[in-house]
Structure 1
Amino acid sequence: MTIPTETITVPNLPAEAEIVIDRWGIPHIRSSTEAGAFFAQGFNAARDRLWQMDTWRKRGLGLLAGDLGAAYVERDQAARLLLYRGEMAAEWAEYGPDAEAWTTAFAAGINAYVDLVAREPARLPLEFKLLDTQPAHWSPEDVVRCRTHARVRNLDAEITRNNIAARFGIEADRFHKLLEPAWTVVAPEGWQAEPIPPEVMRTYLLATEPNAIGSGTPSDPVALDNQGSNNWALAPSRTTTGRAILASDPHRVHEQPSLRYITHLTAPGLNVIGAGEPAVPGVSLGHNDVLAFSLTIHPTDQEDLYVYELHPEDAELYRYGEGWERMRLVEEHIPVRGEAPRAVTLRFTRHGPVLYHDPAGKRAYALRSVWQLPGTAAYLASLNYLKARNFEDYAKALEGWGAPSTNHVVADVDGNIGWAAAGMVPIRPSWDGLLPVPGDGRHEWAGIMRSSGLPRATNPASGWLGTANQMNLPADYDHAAKKTGFEWTDGARFARLSGALAGDHRWSVAETLALQSDVTCVPARRLCALLARMDDAHPAWALLAGWDHRLLAESGPAALFEIWFAKHLVPGVMLALAPEGLPAMVAVPDTQLTLTLLEGEEHAARRDALLRETLSAAWGEATTLLGPDPAGWAWGTLHQGYFEHPLSRFAPELAARLDVGPAPKGGSNLTINNNGWRTKDFRVISGVSWRMVLDVGNWDASVTINSPGQSGDPDSPHYRDLFPLWARDEYVPMLFSEAAVDAAAEARILLRAG
């Protein structure tokens, strides 16, 4: 069969390249040199995702107002505060010996496509036409200086805890977050019980929100939560294939175009396929010819808020030690569409950027973050392990991994499996990182702990390794001396995963796929056990009594449970047990804490009444939403997947063309099949959008999905083609061998020098 082929002449091409696009929109790039492969990756990513990538760059560098107007100046100013401003040689060195050359070729490829669009305006993506804007050229440094495209933590928790402690006392924090391992918050020396102004978090959110194009003001912080990821590896002793099996599904806020992009890069000495972000060279999750790799977030505390006393007569001076230190002021000009550039002043202390400067209150608030250190551009350190041959190579490469903090699970063709936590962790000798600290010198970082100081394991006797953002510090890990953090994601997903993988059952690839899409809800099982102890004639009890605790899209009990749990029980418990006014200070209640409080004895006397009152209220809401007959209820009637393009709100007449969905979905943010939803309308807004399962070594049997599609072009057949499969928890092949790729090819692009 003749494959449609387009030949494009590209100036300054490092080496000729071929891009074979398979029937699922996955590009397989071949070149005679590594530089040629990465150039073609940048060119091809721009071909499919140019507007998304252009927005990524402009948001990260603080250049949105130039396209979108004065309403975005505040966002741009916030973004510029969090840029990397350090020495570039040290920065490149952290990502490996090839990082600068590869990224330079990648940026040149993007620019080559931008130039092609200028020569051939018909290629200009729709979004630029809607906004009357143009794509810009990239420098290699643009890729690495933008720090905020994957959040580090725990500024928001610090601020919430501080404000709770200031109003109710530190002991009231037990109604905010369950700390693990067990830990008692201690006020740092010099900490003052005064609230942190909301402007601090506002600036941070303006700089870090994943989808900033829709508004010049920050969104509800709830939209940034309910995220997580799963990964696990099975040793050959636990599989039916006789090879290791690796499963991976990172979870993030749903976007259109999709956050992830699948790419296959081939050159002499390089053969790697998997998913990354379109604006970042290489891949972060996938495999080369001998090693499979995956990652999830390891919720390490990588940032601190410093509070300064300002000089009573000069607000640019802050107290440090026995004297005063002057802030560093940086004057910059932000381009603004339709008017002259705006001059802004950025303030920095010795600890980092000033998020809020309050001369009237004689306070300033600065962020100290690993982002200010070399090597913390999101996921770029994955370049260092693309050629790893085994776990030892991979672990060595992780020494340069800065951010975000992650759990890496790997498996090789010899059947070895391994896990390593990675990330740059501040060493805090005088405090635990849970509260803001005075910036006067009493609380300084004593260096950075890297991956080699964090937990890791290989080839366990159980025959499997896995993570789901749960507290996974080993029992013998000295968490008091090596304080990585105490704020972890609800362990429900890992509880289900570890329960399923316990024992000695041998897993097939098909069973692994089924587990990856599992919607069994461990909190539902625990709460239904509490209900079973009660004698109640309300019909809600009968509906939940015979339920199997699976949040299936077609399940009526699942609909009732989710309405009850998220909208009535969790907020109801906090309103009943916490000090009055405290629940309103917590943007996202801790579901794991709620269950702990209900199952403990301290509040047993009130438990039954709370369960009864909240479940009765949930039944009433379910009846209103789904009708009087519970036989007709279905979770998927309410809970639906939908990928919204950020411009559809500006052009509602194009919503059907730009948005993708809806489709009924099962699960929640607490099931392995993570589909987190917002309470105002039940829309799925976060969770799984990309997945893969690998029969390690049998690479052409690998499967993946990337919803809603590989392309960001609404007119492309690959803009929404994967959404129906994702909605049904199905997969497509992630082919690797040249023969298999060529057999599935639907198009070919040849890049030729000219």
Structure 2
Amino acid sequence: MTSTIQIESVEGLNAPAEILVDAWGVPHIRADSLDDLFFAQGFNAARDRLWQLDLWRKRGLGLLAADFGPGYLAQDYASRLFLYRGDMDAEWATYAPDAKDICTAFVAGINAYITLTEREPERLPPEFAQMGTKPARWEPEDVVRIRSHAMTRNILSEVLRTHVLTGADQATDDLRKVLEPSVVPTVPEGLDRSPVPLEVLTAYKLGTAAVMFSPERLAASLEEAWKWTKVTDLGDVVAEVGMQGSNNWVVDAAHTVTGRPLMASDPHRNHAVPALRYLVHLSAPGLDVIGAGEPVVPGVSIGHNGQIAFSLTIFYADQEDLYVYETKQGEPTGYRYEDSWQEMQVVEEVFAVKGAPDQVMALKFTRHGPVLFEQPERQKAYAVRSVWSTPGSAPYLRSLTSMRARTIAEFRDAMRGWGVPSSNHVFADVQGTIAWVPASWTPVRPNWDGLMPVPGDGRYEWDGFLDNEKLPRVVNPEKGFFATANEMNLPPDYPHAVGYEWIENSRTTRIHEVLHRSPQHSVDDACRLQTDVVSMPARRVCSLLDGLEADGDAAAALAYLKGWDHALAVDSGPAALFELWWAKHLKTGLLEALVPDDKLRWLLAPGDIEGILRALETPDERFGASPAAGRDALLRTTLAAAWRDCADRLGEDTSTWAWGRLHHALFEHSLASIEHGNEAFNIGPFPHGGSSVTPMHTGYRPSDFRTIAGASVRMVVDVGAWDESRWINAPGQSGDPRSPHYRDLAPIWAAGQYVPMLYSREAVDAAAPHRIRLEPQRASAPYVQAARAAGV
């Protein structure tokens, strides 16, 4: 393959390094030392994702208003509440002995690329010119201090539960979230029985939200700054949280067609452009690792290093609690703790605001964490305690140790220090070992279950964290595989409380069904399973239709669904009818029938899938004197409405109905809505199969059936025959709209296809059309200029 060679002279590099960009945009980075390797990783991340990196840093540090004006001041304030403010020596030591050195080299590489953009502004992605901003330089601490992009839980649910259980009962709350293992939440002694104000969630939601742009927000005045605190409807927030999961599985050598272990991983998050994750290959003496991570973090968190393969899904440990305080009359910064009054820590910080004077605002903290909301008139304040304040809880940074493990023993030792995100790690190595190794900072709550807010007066304190080695472990399971998909997977007799709010088990049930069905598995099989669109909820709901008597539109719908295989295929008419019925009519009708109070019903949205299925499968007195008859009447009425709705949307000719005519993927750029022409930054739309409950996770918003969450990265690793591995990332590796790798992978991803995940030096060299050679700046300018002129 003919290669183009680009020479870059950069400050901060010790020796030459090389970035080989393969045909699919994957950078294969080679250096002679770890310092230069991570410097080059930072340089390359900035080369491909500078707008994304800069926006991530400014959002996390609370610096948006300086660039974008008063409409972002409230978000800045909220973001700073969640910054890590503890001991930095303890922080660095938790990730790896050389974590500080790695992050220092990584941000030096980012800053070196920013320096190039200052000399050559044409390198800047077009978003900077459009918004009139410039990228800022990084400090090593910026990588770890920003916690608010992490996935922790369950403060949202704690607040909502106080409302539901005040206005209704546990059966109603099950429609919002089923608890596993089954437990009846205990109202902590001393907690006011009145619902916690929903305003408590405003700062939390705003501090963890992505950056959104609109002409109105960008034009906001300083007087309007605090109008820009609403993130989205609460139901939408809960829906997005519920859709953020993952699949992974590992199969031992005895159960694959190759006689080698196989690992599959497809982490799920909100869809975005640029993609959340980035694939990179890092090679230096002592390290040769390839995989995916977030572009703002050095190293990789899923992939392999030539000896072991590793991946993760979210393990739903409960890692945060809401504390409710009695505050002092006339002195709201005083709060009761045990038998005395304590003072909140008040930190005054300066916020730069574009077009306005600097603003000085006070951030408040109790002994448990940041204060989210105050009610001086009621003598109350609310703060969140989260693992975020614990050294070592920057998400994925423990990968700096785990990605260098060579054996299961070393990997398990690395997992003892893994805190965030709480994860199901699966493992396979070239010796044939496979394993499941969950890891999490899991608070030990001696006297409560973590499901409700608690008084902040000292009666409810964490007793450290559960030792990760006390979490369940499975090595070389007898069945020959282990699979996870965010379900409750604790053993029945497990003695420790971890959490009660998991993702329902539709995806894992289907994955286990397929893995059990075949005695031998291949890379092709794993790719097919990652893109499988069979819906277990559809199978369960349709079983309720057997024998159902109906006429008119309901009868037509029953006939149309009869014999359907329950696959949400992109070209399936029954899939379109079923999902329209489920999302727009059946769930809505069920909640209206069982929860008459519309204010309470709003808090249940979008509804827990398992809770809704159980209510349909085992109808009770809420359906009326004859529960089964009441349930069947609901099925008939909503099915008839869905039939008419589908005809209105897709036409009377049912042979043309297709799920992909409704369900679609569109990667929407954050600037697309602020100026005509920016729609060109968008990628798609693509007709899409699946839903949030299928192994090919494509969770959609019911308003327009657009996919908002799911797998952008999919990876299948053939352990030991590394070049036979496959992967895909959507919409592309680059975040620069001018790059050929900005959108090139999106149609491949949408079609459920993959590209090679090359690892060996020979395979990479043969497939890299573009090479970037990084030279220390001490190289003479004439040499660099001559090399460029010669095209080498």
Range class of TM-score, shorter chain: over 0.9
Deviations along 1:18-74, whole A, 9 cap, x unmatched?
000001000000000011110000000000000000001010111111111001010
Q: 2:659 aligns with which of 635, 656, 662?
A: 635
Match of 2:220 in 1: none
The residue matched to 1:315 in structure 2 has which SS?
Answer: strand
Deviation at 1:7, TM superposition (A): 0.9
Match of 2:356 in 1: 339
How many residues align? The count is 750
In structure 2, distance between residues paired with 1:416 and 1:164: 47
Deviation at 1:141, TM superposition (A): 0.3
Q: Which moved more, 1:561-570 or 1:277-286?
A: 561-570
Deviations along 1:77-127, whole A, 9 cap, x unmatched?
000000000000111111011211111100110000011111111101101
Q: Which moved more, 1:2-11 or 1:268-277?
A: 2-11
The residue matched to 1:471 in structure 2 has which SS?
Answer: coil
Structure 1 portions without partners, runs of 5+? none
Q: Which moved more, 1:571-580 or 1:338-347?
A: 571-580
Query: What TM-score, normalized by structure 2, do the two folds share?
Result: 0.93
- Contact 1:162/1:195 (<8 A) preserved: yes
Letter in 1 for 2:729: N
Letter in 1 for 2:380: R
Letter in 2 for 1:49: R
Matched, 1:441 2:441: no
Match of 2:83 in 1: 83
The residue matched to 1:380 in structure 2 has which SS?
Answer: coil
Deviation at 1:172, TM superposition (A): 4.3
- Contact 2:176/2:606 (<8 A) preserved: no
Match of 2:403 in 1: 386
In structure 2, distance between residues paired with 1:5 and 1:46: 19
Matched, 1:648 2:668: no
Matched, 1:104 2:118: no
- Contact 1:408/1:420 (<8 A) preserved: yes
Match of 1:228 in 2: 245
Match of 1:735 in 2: 758
Match of 2:168 in 1: 168
- Contact 1:224/1:253 (<8 A) preserved: no
Match of 1:510 in 2: 524
Match of 2:781 in 1: none
Match of 1:677 in 2: 700
- Contact 2:291/2:304 (<8 A) preserved: yes
Letter in 2 for 1:702: S
In structure 1, distance between residues paired with 2:584 and 2:421: 31
After superposition, the Cα gap between the structure-2 partners of 1:85 and 1:227, relative to the gap in structure 1 and judged at 3 Å, is same
Deviation at 1:578, TM superposition (A): 3.0
- Contact 2:159/2:198 (<8 A) preserved: no
The residue matched to 2:469 in structure 1 has which SS?
Answer: helix
Match of 2:420 in 1: 403
Aligned ranges 1:32-43 → 2 under 5 Å:
32-43=32-43
- Contact 1:57/1:142 (<8 A) preserved: yes
Match of 1:690 in 2: 713
In structure 2, distance between residues paired with 1:621 and 1:445: 51
Deviation at 1:170, TM superposition (A): 5.7
Deviation at 1:197, TM superposition (A): 1.8
Deviation at 1:579, TM superposition (A): 5.1
Query: What TM-score, normalized by structure 1, do the two folds share?
Result: 0.98
Aligned ranges 1:30-69 → 2 under 5 Å:
30-69=30-69
Q: 1:586 aligns with which of 600, 604, 613?
A: 604
- Contact 1:20/1:749 (<8 A) preserved: yes
Match of 1:184 in 2: 184
- Contact 2:176/2:605 (<8 A) preserved: no
In structure 2, distance between residues paired with 1:95 and 1:604: 55
In structure 2, distance between residues paired with 1:620 and 1:308: 53
In structure 2, distance between residues paired with 1:22 and 1:159: 48
Deviations along 1:158-183, whole A, 9 cap, x unmatched?
11101112333566433332111111
After superposition, the Cα gap between the structure-2 partners of 1:455 and 1:497, relative to the gap in structure 1 and judged at 3 Å, is same
Letter in 1 for 2:617: E
Aligned ranges 1:490-509 → 2 under 5 Å:
490-503=504-517, 505-509=519-523
In structure 2, distance between residues paired with 1:450 and 1:592: 31
Aligned ranges 1:7-406 → 2 under 5 Å:
7-168=7-168, 172-212=172-212, 216=228, 217-220=230-233, 221=237, 222-406=239-423
Q: Which moved more, 1:402-411 or 1:187-196?
A: 187-196
Letter in 1 for 2:231: P
Match of 1:623 in 2: 647
After superposition, the Cα gap between the structure-2 partners of 1:639 and 1:175, relative to the gap in structure 1 and judged at 3 Å, is closer
The residue matched to 2:613 in structure 1 has which SS?
Answer: helix
Deviations along 1:113-154, whole A, 9 cap, x unmatched?
011111111101101001000000001100000001122000
Deviation at 1:654, TM superposition (A): 2.0
After superposition, the Cα gap between the structure-2 partners of 1:213 and 1:207, relative to the gap in structure 1 and judged at 3 Å, is farther
Match of 2:493 in 1: 476
Letter in 2 for 1:593: G
Percent sequence identity is: 52
Superposition CA RMSD, Å: 1.3
- Contact 1:700/1:737 (<8 A) preserved: yes
In structure 1, distance between residues paired with 2:232 and 2:768: 42
- Contact 1:385/1:394 (<8 A) preserved: yes
Deviation at 1:687, TM superposition (A): 0.4
Q: Which moved more, 1:348-357 or 1:569-578?
A: 569-578
Q: 2:483 aligns with which of 452, 461, 466?
A: 466
Deviation at 1:453, TM superposition (A): 2.0
Match of 2:787 in 1: none
- Contact 1:165/1:171 (<8 A) preserved: no
Deviation at 1:213, TM superposition (A): 5.0
Matched, 1:699 2:722: yes
Letter in 1 for 2:539: R
In structure 2, distance between residues paired with 1:213 and 1:40: 32
Letter in 2 for 1:369: S
- Contact 1:175/1:578 (<8 A) preserved: no
After superposition, the Cα gap between the structure-2 partners of 1:472 and 1:671, relative to the gap in structure 1 and judged at 3 Å, is same
Q: 1:666 aligns with which of 666, 689, 692?
A: 689
After superposition, the Cα gap between the structure-2 partners of 1:592 and 1:170, relative to the gap in structure 1 and judged at 3 Å, is closer
Letter in 2 for 1:682: F
Match of 2:637 in 1: 613
In structure 2, distance between residues paired with 1:640 and 1:631: 19
In structure 2, distance between residues paired with 1:58 and 1:401: 26
Deviations along 1:418-450, whole A, 9 cap, x unmatched?
001111011111110000011111111111114
In structure 2, distance between residues paired with 1:599 and 1:167: 25
The residue matched to 1:309 in structure 2 has which SS?
Answer: strand
Deviations along 1:463-503, whole A, 9 cap, x unmatched?
0001000010012211xxx2111011011000101111115
After superposition, the Cα gap between the structure-2 partners of 1:360 and 1:169, relative to the gap in structure 1 and judged at 3 Å, is farther
The residue matched to 2:254 in structure 1 has which SS?
Answer: helix
Deviations along 1:229-287, whole A, 9 cap, x unmatched?
10000101111010011000000000001101110000000000010011110011110
Deviations along 1:654-708, whole A, 9 cap, x unmatched?
212x000011010000000000111111111110111100111110111100111
- Contact 1:15/1:35 (<8 A) preserved: no
Letter in 2 for 1:364: A
Deviation at 1:224, TM superposition (A): 4.1
The residue matched to 1:179 in structure 2 has which SS?
Answer: coil
In structure 2, distance between residues paired with 1:706 and 1:691: 7
Runs of 4+ with >6 A deviation: none
The residue matched to 1:729 in structure 2 has which SS?
Answer: coil
